[in-house]
Amino acid sequence: MNLDLTAQDVEFRNEVRAFLDKNLTPDLAAAGRLATSVFIEPEFTLPWQRILHARGWVAPHWPKEYGGTGWDEMQRYIFASECARAGAPGLSPMGLGMVGPCIIGYGTPEQKAHYLPRILSGEDYWCQGYSEPGSGSDLASLQLKAESDSDDYVLNGTKIWTTHAHHANKMFCLVRTDPAAKPQMGITFLLLDMKTPGIKVDPIITLAGEHELNQVFFDDVRVPKSGRLGAENDGWSVAKYLLEFERGGGSSAGLEAVLARLQKHVHSDSNSDMALVRRIGELSMRLEAIKTTEQRILSDLTSGQPPGPAGSMLKIQRTELMQAIDEAGVSSLGAHAAPYQPDAWQPGANAPILGPEALVTGMARYLNNRAGSIYGGSNEVQRNIMAKAVLGL
pLDDT in tens, 256-314: 888 888 888 777 766 668 888 899 999 999 998 888 777 766 655 555 566 677 778 88
Maximum Cα–Cα distance for the chain, whole Å?
Answer: 73
CA distance 372 to 296: 23
DSSP assigned state of 393: -
Predicted structure pTM score: 0.82
From the list 82, 132, 246, 294, the catalytic residue is 246
User: Is residue 170 within a helix (H) or strand (E), and if so which, with residue range?
Assistant: strand 170-176
Answer yes or no: is pLDDT of 353 > 50. no
Count CB atoms within 10 A of the CB of residue 56. Answer: 13
Average pLDDT over residues 80-95: 91
User: In this structure, are residues 141 and 99 in contact, taking their beta carbons and an 8 Å threshold?
Assistant: no
% of the chain beyond a pLDDT of 90: 53
* Tens of pLDDT, residues 176-202: 999 999 989 999 999 999 999 999 999
Helix, strand, coil % in the chain, rounded to nearest 5: 55, 15, 30
Please say if 246 is a catalytic residue. yes
